[in-house]
Amino acid sequence: MRTVAQLLQAKPDRIIAIAPDHSVLEAVQTMAEAEVGALMVMHNGHLMGIVSERDYSRKVILKGRTSATTPVRDIMSSPVLTVGPNKTATHCMQVMTEKRVRHLPVVDGGVVLGIVSIGDLVRAVIEDQQIEIEQLQRYIAS
């Protein structure tokens, strides 16, 4: 089973984040441009929270707030669930299932390394299972 560090190596080397004082509209625009479902909320290099499309729909739209005037800090999820780079995809899927989240920032010694999504994890598990199936088929055939 692959580790989170290995999953991050396969992703573009970028951290997509937004400051807590930026507007929710800016956050949604950034998510759309980057084609991601969540942003880490960071201030001076420190992870303060995470804001997702789910936060937007539940904490802005349903509460009658406006995207242009609501700061990200008002809707972000905090404290943030994080994982270390040595955790496995299976461990991350268990955490996501138990806590009902779709994104986990990866932090090592207080430094943000990236983020993994449920899509990243499902893809990794499927790829690992396919490799195992192929190995078992070769073993049976030999």
Tell me which H or E stretch contains 94: helix 89-99
Domain 4-141 top-level CATH class: alpha beta
**DSSP 3-state assignment of 133?**
helix
Report yes or no: 122 and 96 within 8 Å, Cβ to Cβ.
no
pLDDT band at 120 (very low <50, low <70, confident <90, very high): very high
pLDDT tens string 10-39: 888 889 999 999 999 999 999 999 999 999
Q: What is the pLDDT of residues 61-116, one digit of tens each?
A: 888 899 999 999 999 999 999 999 999 999 999 999 999 999 999 999 999 999 99
